[in-house]
Amino acid sequence: MKKKLIYINVAVFAVVFLLKIIFMLFQIDSFEHVISYLEVPSNLVTLLCHPWTLVTYMFLHYDVLHILFNMLWLYWLSDLFLNVYSQRHLVGLYVFGGLGGALFFILAYNIFPYFSSVVWNSYLLGASASVLAIMGALLYSIPDYSINLMLIGRIRFKYMALFIIALDVLFMMNNPGQHFAHLGGVLSGILFAYLYRKNIDVTGWINSVIDSFVMVYRTLVSWKNSMVDFFKGRKKPKMKVHYGGGTKHGNDYDDNLRKRASEAEIDAILEKIKKNGYGALTSEEKKRLFDASRK
C-alpha cells in the first residue's frame, strides 16, 4: 500500500508538471489560479467553496526536490510503521495526518494576527503533514527503537523525531504556515497511536469512506462492461444441464462408500499399531498402510 501512495503522489506530480509546461509554452498565465482549486486555502470562505482541497492538497508538491524528500521519508517510515500497524492504518493515517496538518494551518492563519494580511491569499500543499503523522505515531509507539543513520550511527527513533520537530519550531519564522501544518501532522500521528492503544481507531471512518468509493468505482466499471457487452451483442454463455438419470449421483454415492470403508480400514490398522506395535501387522496390512500414505 505504501507503494500505491507513492505512485499516486508521483502520478499527480507528473500531471501537474506537464500542465505547467503546457501553460508556459502557450503563455497562459492562469496556472496558479487553476492549481489553487487543489490547494488548501487559509481563508474559510474559499475553503467552504473548495472543500475537496482538504484531501487533494496532500498529493501535490512544489518541485522535484519537494516530492523526492517526502516520498523517501514516506517509504522509509512506512517500513517501520507496518511492523506495528496494518496497511489500512497506513492509508488512514496518511489522510488523517493530512487533515490534521490542514486544520492547524487554517487555525493558525485565522487566529494569529501575524497572518491577518495574507489570510486571503495563502495556500498549503504537500504530503509533509501526512508523512510526519506516520513519524508521530512511531514516536509514541516505538520511541526506543534503534535506527541506523548515515554518518551518525545507531540512535533511538525518539531522538531523530524530536530533532525534526525542534527544527520545525526553530524555523517557524520561515514559512510559518507550513511548519504549523507539520506540527499538526505530528500531533495527529501521536493522537492516532494514543487512542489506538485504547482500542479506538480514528482512521476507521476514513477507510470506510475509501471502501465506499472503491465499491462505487467497481460497480460503475461492472456496469460499463455490461453495457459494452450489450451494445456489442455479446451474450452470456448458456448454462449446460446434463440429464444423467441419476447415474452421476449413484457414482458419487458409491465413491463415498468406498472412501469411508478405506478410512475405516486405515483406522483399524493404526489402532492395531497402537496396541501391538508395527511388527504385529501382516504383509497385506503394511502394504495397505504404505499405499494410503502415498495418496
| The model's pTM | 0.76
pLDDT 10s digit of each residue in the chain, 295 long?
889 999 999 999 999 999 999 999 999 888 999 999 999 999 999 999 999 999 999 999 989 999 999 999 999 999 999 999 999 999 999 999 999 999 999 999 999 999 999 999 999 999 999 999 999 999 999 999 999 887 788 999 999 999 999 999 998 888 888 999 999 999 999 999 999 999 999 999 999 999 998 899 889 888 888 888 778 765 555 555 554 544 444 455 556 556 666 777 777 777 776 666 666 667 677 667 667 655 5
CB atoms within 10 A of CB 206: 20
- In sequence order, which residues have a C-beta less than 8 Å from that of residue 72 and are 6 or more positions away? none
Give the angle subtended at the CA of 36 by the CAs of 178 and 185, to the nearest 5°.
Answer: 30
Give domain limits for the chain.
2-200, 247-293
CB 94 within 8 A of CB 5: yes
CB 180 within 8 A of CB 108: yes
150 three-class SS: coil
CATH number listed for the domain at residues 2-200 = 1.20.1540.10
